[in-house]
Amino acid sequence: MRILVFSQYYYPEPFKIHEICEELVKRGNEVTVITGRPNYPDGDLFEGYGNENKMNEVINGVNVIRTKIVLRGHNPLSLMRNYFSYPLLAKKEIKKLNKEFDIVFVYQLSPVFMIKPALYYKKKFKKKVYIYCLDLWPESLKVLHISEKNIIFKFIKRICNKIYQQCDFISVTSPAFIEYLNKENGVNIDKINYVPQHGENLFLQVKPYQKQDKLNITFAGNIGKAQDFDCLIKAICQIPNSYYNRFMITIIGSGSYEEILKNKVKEHKLESIFKFEGRKSVGNLIPYYNNTSLFLLSLEKNSSIGKTIPSKLQTYMSAGRGIIGSIDGTSSQIIKKAQSGVTCQAGDYRKLAQIIIDLLNDDSLLEKYAINSRKYFLNNFTLEKCTNKIIKKLNELI
């Protein structure tokens, strides 16, 4: 197959689309990706990508075409310009292509508008469009505290419904998405299925769990408001000071909420507990995960993101460690089903504090959680299993 992929984000940005594309190439397909200049999550252009030679490159067999999208920057205005620049510039790149493709595949994160150039290609060349949906729209607007009654929400919902309904098939990364797309966006239920995100096989190299000198609870990923670090701070403040020398919180990553979080750590005099490691490349995470006792997974209560299964869940499981957290929805159900950890409702900082205290008083479950996590990953979340389902659907649509 000759597959044209649209994704506003691509390697070296921290999304898994490049692994899917490279796996498709390994299986004998020709893959071309139209993406943007890498600048997620901090809003600054990645080092080396100001070079014109980087605008068109081949990465592990994948043809990558980069558009000169507006960078995310550091304010809402530049972010909005970033969102609207990609579909416009990606459409221009379509006109420069010197070959036709058999099918179009969209790795749909936020914003939903990244689907629009794919629909343009569909109309121009009469090809099918297959969406891999990781973020729901317009539901994702609620993270910005835009309610359903807001005229902006209603306007964008009409646009989203039209976009989704024009797609030929949509695979979603959480079962909760199926009902939403059907009821809220008007997508025929027969045009939707569930394909969970994969985790990185790389983290199978993480050593089996061994007890640490301190209970080391690690968070790795985007440090944003939606990850509800306020709940974590409140939880730790509920824990008696006598426990403080027995555990630590390792934060790996960066994001818009990072400085606010650091200030709150100082405000509550928790510097002895928190350790900020900054953003790390995927390949440099293994030593940190080797020294991890548990991973933390949390999301805001009533957040639209709560309907998703955050990709870090699969990553945590592939690393073979237990998971604790304050999170609702499918993620919590998976952790319970896998017997890979313990969760409480999103925002329940008192319960989260009690979870940490319980494990400090009895860490006998940590090895069981670690073993069960990796077992569940191997049975459900490998790249091979994910790609098998995507290729099957691509072939059906062609």
Nearest CA-CA partner of 273 in 285, 261, 289: 261
Averaged pLDDT for residues 162-186: 95
Average pLDDT, the chain: 93
Looking at residue 199, what is its pLDDT?
87
Sign (positive/negative) of CA torsion 124, 126, 127, 133?
A: positive
Averaged pLDDT for residues 198-216: 92
Residue 142 has pLDDT above 80, yes or no: no
| Terminal-to-terminal C-alpha distance of the chain | 9
Looking at residue 176, what is its pLDDT?
87
Averaged pLDDT for residues 199-207: 91
Looking at residue 267, what is its pLDDT?
96
Rounded Cα distance between 5 and 34, Å, is 6
Residue 377 has pLDDT above 90, yes or no: yes
User: In three state form, how does the secondary structure of the chain look?
Assistant: CEEEEECCCCCCCCCCHHHHHHHHHHCCCEEEEEEECCCCCCCCCCCCCCCHHHCEEEECCEEEEEECCCCCCCCHHHHHHHHHHHHHHHHHHHHHCCCCCCEEEEEECCCHHHHHHHHHHHHHHCCCEEEEECCCCCHHHHHHCCCCCCHHHHHHHHHHHHHHHHCCEEEECCHHHHHHHHHCCCCCHHHEEECCCCCCHHHHHCCCCCCCCCEEEEEECCCCHHHCHHHHHHHHHHCCHHHHHHEEEEEECCCCCHHHHHHHHHHCCCCCCEEEEECCCHHHCHHHHHCCCEEEEECCCCCHHHHCCCHHHHHHHHCCCEEEEECCHHHHHHHHHHCCEEEECCCCHHHHHHHHHHHHHCCCCHHHHHHHHHHHHHHHCCHHHHHHHHHHHHHHHC
Rounded Cα distance between 291 and 109, Å, is 31
348: phi then psi, degrees, rounded to nearest 5 = -85, 80
Residue 30 has pLDDT above 70, yes or no: yes
Residue 304 has pLDDT above 70, yes or no: no
Which is more confidently placed, 335 or 138? 335
Looking at residue 241, what is its pLDDT?
95
8 A C-beta contact, residue 384 and residue 338? no
Nearest CA-CA partner of 180 in 8, 16, 329: 329
Residue 306 has pLDDT above 60, yes or no: no
Q: Specify the length of the chain in residues.
A: 398
Which is more confidently placed, 222 or 192? 192
Encode pLDDT of 118-129 as tens digits.
999 999 999 999
Encode pLDDT of 321-357 as tens digits.
999 989 988 899 999 999 999 999 999 999 999 999 9
Looking at residue 148, what is its pLDDT?
84
Averaged pLDDT for residues 173-186: 92
Supply the pTM of this predicted model: 0.81
Encode pLDDT of 53-103 as tens digits.
789 999 999 999 999 999 999 998 999 899 999 999 999 999 999 999 999
Rounded Cα distance between 2 and 29, Å, is 6
Percentage of the chain lying above the pLDDT 70 cut: 98
Looking at residue 150, what is its pLDDT?
86
Residue 261 has pLDDT above 60, yes or no: yes
Looking at residue 200, what is its pLDDT?
84
Rounded Cα distance between 272 and 257, Å, is 20
